[in-house]
Each structure stands twice: as structure tokens, then as C-alpha cells.
Amino acid sequence: MTTDIRKVVTGASIGNAVEWFDFAIYGFLATFIAAQFFPAGNDTAALLNTFAIFAAAFFMRPLGGFFFGPLGDRIGRQRVLAVVILLMSAATLGIGLLPTYATIGLAAPLLLLILRCLQGFSAGGEYGGGAVYLAEFASDRRRGVTVTFMAWSGVVGFLLGSLTVTLLQALLPAEAMESYGWRIPFLIAGPLGLVGLYIRLRLGDTPQFAELDKADKTSASPLREAVTTSTRQILQVLGLFIVFNIGYYVVFAFLPTYFIRTLEFSKTASFVSITLACVVALVLILPLAMLSDRVGRRPLLIAGSLGFAVLGYPLFLLLNSGSLVAAIVAHCALAAIESIYIAAAVTAGVELFATRVRFSGFSVGYNLCVAIFGGTTPYVVTWLTAATGDPIAPAFYLIVAALVSLATVHTLRESAGRALAQVQ
């Protein structure tokens, strides 16, 4: 990888890492946030309100996609990426500086909601923009591994968030965590975002967009053009990312809580399991993305979706075997299957669109899928488990998602190794 590509990868990926760092710290600090931003007396209601505000960010993501996608197709990818990381880091830093309910009353949860919505809005331009930026800089033979740094950086951010919160809880007394310790990860995210902004401001725009702009061939209305000319591709992205998102949120967001509440293991056991699952993903994703550049996107997408469809139920049985070692093995196996799918999905989705509408089309399809199937997954699988009384129930949701995405994969043409302009 050349020095220029390294700078491009770093600049595009760091915003996604910050986003997932924030996702992890908000989830792990939910009980502290509930105590600080809602009135005392009903801990359950406060926690539910905290997660409701957390979920609100996901419903802002499509709005961000609708806004930043067309903007990126009109004024350029690099400028939009600079704006979204500034918004995201400012909002995250703002949460760390917010006065509590005890200080300003109802204004505290209202401001928390506004900042979370701003985070979701900016995230709507982050993932799609970063993936498009990397795709348009990458060589045809290494596009898979280059673009997949976006997904890899998300796991890095999540793992760093988890480690940061765990380390703080180990080092600080409970009183200190409740008083100021919970703010520290949010305050860390602010400077990280500024580093990302600095890197992005030093980057140029992609050769493909620069060529389009120089020829005065950028679309005057990219969103309208994407919806009217690339409806099939947007639907393909939506279908392609169903199991991507459900699998991701089951493995990295739902299972840590499942270990504690359903399997009745300790918080330490849950932390060890999610840490090992993240390490498995970090080890596998990039080599598998390299493989997708050699053998194609479709074989990995088929293998990943089939893996969930065939092994989802047996692995949830293993999770519920009563053995901690077996449960951790099952968790890591699910992370490995998700890694297979991740390694090809992002690149395959970006490759579906023409340069004029690539940012708009991919952002709309991806963010709609995240809002519908990503942020809702922990709630849906928790509800399924409670409603059926069956701890294996989440496996069925995962299996159905895998079959839908598998059907979508069969509508895709193979795009590995081909020039972006020749794929559509």
C-alpha cells in the first residue's frame, strides 16, 4: 500500500472508528447516563429513556444520508467527509460537557437527545462517504481490501470504546465514575475527531469525482437521479445489508448483554467474550477482503449468508449449553461468519452505482437499512426472546435475514477486478 493510499485510508476510516467508539461508550455507560440525565426514583424508566435517545440517532441516519449523499455528489466527497467528522466530534464532545438533570432539569435530556440526533445525522454521511471515497481512490485489483478498511475501522472503534470504559471502571472508584468518570470517553472522542478532521482537510478529492467535476458533468439533482435511475441498485444495497446489519448488531451489541441477562454469566465473562469476538473480526476481515479481490465478492457473500442460515441455530444452542468456554467459542464463530460477509459487502454495494450518483445511491440504501434493521436489532431480538420464552429465538431472526440477503446476492453481477465505470 503506497503512502498516498495510506493517508486516504486513514482519513476515511478514522471518522467511522470515532462513530463506533461513541456507539460502544454510550452503550456501556448507559446506566451512568440514565442516572445523570433523568430524575431519580425509577431506574428502569431512566434506562429505557436513555436507550430511546440512543435509538433516535439511528432514525436520523437516513436523513443524513439524504442530505450528505447528494451534497457529496455535487460538491465532492472530501468536503462532505470534513463536515461530517466535525459535526460528529463536536456532538460527542458536547455530550461529555453536558450539565446533568440535577443542574438544569428537563433541558438535560432534551440537549442529550439533540446531540445524539446530530451524531446520527452526521453518521448518515460518514459511512457511505468514506466507502465511496476509498473505492474511487483504490486500484481495481485492490478495491475490496481498500474499501473494507471502513468496516475494519468500525470494529477497532468498538473495541477501543469497550476497553476504555472497562479500564476506567477498573481504575476509578464507583463514586468517581458517577461524578465525572463517565464523561472521560466522550471527551476523548472530541480530540480524536479533530485529528481526523486535520487529516481529511489535507486530502484531495477522488480522481473520479475531480474528472467529473472538471468536465462539468456532475448531477444537478443527484438524489432524484439516483432514485429514478438506480432504484434497483438502492434496493439491492438494502437487501444486501440486512444480514450485514442484523449480524453485526447481534454479535457486537446484543450478545454482551445476552451473556449477562440470559446466559447469567458475569460481566467479566461478557467482556472477555466480546473482546475475543472483536479480535477474531479484526484478524479475519482484511485478509478475507483481499480474498474477495482474488476470487470475487459473490463467493464470500454467499458463504457468509449461508453460514448464518446454516449455523445460526446450532451456534445459539452452543451459546446456551451452560459452558462459558462453549459460549465464547460460539460468539467468536458468529463473529467469524460476520467477518466473511463484511469482507465483501461494503465494496459490492459501492460498486453498484455510477460516479454521478454513487454517494447518494449507496448512502440512501445503506442508511435506510441501518435505521430499519440495525439500530432496532437489539430491541427486536430481546423482545423475541421474552415473547417466546425461548433463548434461541434470536437465531431465527438471523436466519431469515441471511436468506433475504442470500436472495439479494443472487441478483448481483460479479464486480471484483473490474473498473468502476464498467461495473454498472
Q: Are 45 and 240 in contact (CB under 8 A)?
A: no
- pLDDT at position 424 over 80: no
Cα–Cα distance, 410 to 318 (Å, whole number): 30
Q: Which amino acid is at 396?
A: F
- pLDDT at position 42 over 80: no
Q: What is the pLDDT of residue 348?
A: 96
Q: What is the pLDDT of residue 195?
A: 87
Residue 197: how many other CB atoms lie within 10 Å: 22
Cα–Cα distance, 61 to 244 (Å, whole number): 17
Q: Per-residue confidence at 1, pLDDT binned at 50, 70, 90?
A: low
Q: What is the pLDDT of residue 379?
A: 82
More confident residue, 298 or 198: 298
332-362: pLDDT as tens digits:
999 999 999 999 999 999 999 999 999 999 9
Sequence ranges of the domains in the chain: 3-205+223-411
For the chain, percent of residues with pLDDT exceeding 70 = 97
- pLDDT at position 422 over 60: no
372-403: pLDDT as tens digits:
998 788 888 888 888 899 999 999 999 999 99
75-89: pLDDT as tens digits:
999 999 999 999 998
**CATH number for the domain whose boundaries are 3-205+223-411:** 1.20.1250.20
Give me the sign of the Cα torsion angle 167, 169, 175, 181: positive
Cα–Cα distance, 264 to 258 (Å, whole number): 8
- pLDDT at position 117 over 70: yes
For the chain, percent of residues with pLDDT exceeding 90 = 66
Packing angle between helix 207-214 and helix 107-137, nearest 10 degrees? 80
Q: Per-residue confidence at 418, pLDDT binned at 50, 70, 90?
A: confident
Residue 139: how many other CB atoms lie within 10 Å: 12
Q: Are 225 and 348 in contact (CB under 8 A)?
A: no
Q: Is 5 exposed, middle or buried (0-12, 13-18, 19+ CB in 10 A)?
A: middle
Q: What is the pLDDT of residue 253?
A: 86
48-105: pLDDT as tens digits:
777 778 778 888 989 999 999 999 999 999 999 999 999 998 999 999 999 999 899 9
39 vs 44, 51, 138, 177, 270, CA distance in Å? 11, 15, 51, 18, 29
What dihedral angle (degrees, nearest 10) is formed by the CA atoms of 288, 132, 197, 53?
-80
394 vs 122, 379, 400, CA distance in Å? 30, 11, 10
Instruction: Report residue 351: phi and psi, to 5°.
Output: -70, -10
- pLDDT at position 417 over 90: no
Mean pLDDT calculated for residue range 157-178: 92
Q: Which three cell numbers stand for residue 134?
A: 476509498
Q: Which three cell numbers stand for residue 57?
A: 440517532
Q: Which three cell numbers stand for residue 231?
A: 432504484
Cα–Cα distance, 209 to 188 (Å, whole number): 33
- pLDDT at position 44 over 70: no
Tracing cell 452452543 back to the chain, one arrives at 318
Cα–Cα distance, 167 to 55 (Å, whole number): 26
Helix, strand or coil, per DSSP, at residue 149: helix
Q: Whole-model pTM?
A: 0.91
DSSP class of 414: P
Give me the sign of the Cα torsion angle 315, 319, 325, 326: negative
Cα–Cα distance, 373 to 407 (Å, whole number): 17
- Give start and end residues of each alpha helix (H) in 138-206: 143-147, 149-171, 174-179, 184-201
- pLDDT at position 371 over 70: yes
Q: Is 4 exposed, middle or buried (0-12, 13-18, 19+ CB in 10 A)?
A: exposed
H or E segment to which residue 77 belongs: helix 77-97
More confident residue, 225 or 423: 225
Which residues in 305-322 are b (16+ Cβ under 10 Å) and which e?
Answer: bbbbbebbeebbebbbee
Cα–Cα distance, 271 to 39 (Å, whole number): 29
Q: Which of 188, 37, 25 is nearest to 99 (CA)?
A: 37
Q: Per-residue confidence at 47, pLDDT binned at 50, 70, 90?
A: low
Of 208-217, 364-373, 403-412, give the lowest mean pLDDT range. Answer: 208-217
Q: Which of 320, 319, 318, 338 is nearest to 278 (CA)?
A: 338
How does the average pLDDT of the chain come out, rounded?
Answer: 91
- pLDDT at position 121 over 90: yes
- pLDDT at position 312 over 60: yes
